């Protein structure tokens, strides 16, 4: 008899967890659908920003070299 009680409790626990999980999934799906347009616009902004980074990469490298050179000059002047 005790075995059946344990089995029933386990079945109920699994049922409860599955329902809880399904509710969370439904809520997440609703949020995704509501924010679909924002998600696509953010993806487009990410693409444009990535292309801007690619175009400015050379300028960044040049500025980095200038900064490093200036730091070397400053350390030499301090000494």
For the stretch 13-71, pLDDT in tens is 999 999 999 999 999 999 999 999 999 999 999 999 888 887 888 888 889 999 999 99
pLDDT at 1 over 90: no
Tell me if 65 sits within 8 A of 72, measured CB to CB. no
Residues 6+ apart with CB under 8 A from 32: 39
Query: What's the predicted TM-score (pTM) here?
Result: 0.47
**Cα first-last separation, the chain:** 88
| 56-79 pLDDT, tens digit each | 888 888 899 999 999 999 998 887
- Domain ranges in the chain? 2-78
In order, the DSSP letters of 8-45 are: HHHHHHHHHHHHHHHHHHHHHHHHHHHTHHHHHHHHHH
Mean pLDDT, range 4-18, rounded to an integer:
95
Rounded to the nearest 10 degrees, the angle between the axes of helix 2-34 and helix 36-78 is 80
């Amino acid at each position: 008899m005790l075995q059946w009680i344990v089995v029933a409790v386990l079945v109920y626990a699994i049922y409860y967890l599955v329902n809880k999980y399904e509710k969370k999934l439904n809520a997440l799906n609703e949020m995704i659908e509501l924010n679909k347009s924002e998600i696509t616009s953010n993806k487009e902004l990410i693409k444009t920003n990535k292309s801007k980074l690619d175009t400015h990469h050379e300028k960044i490298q040049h500025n980095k070299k200038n900064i490093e050179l200036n730091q070397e000059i400053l350390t030499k002047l301090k000494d």
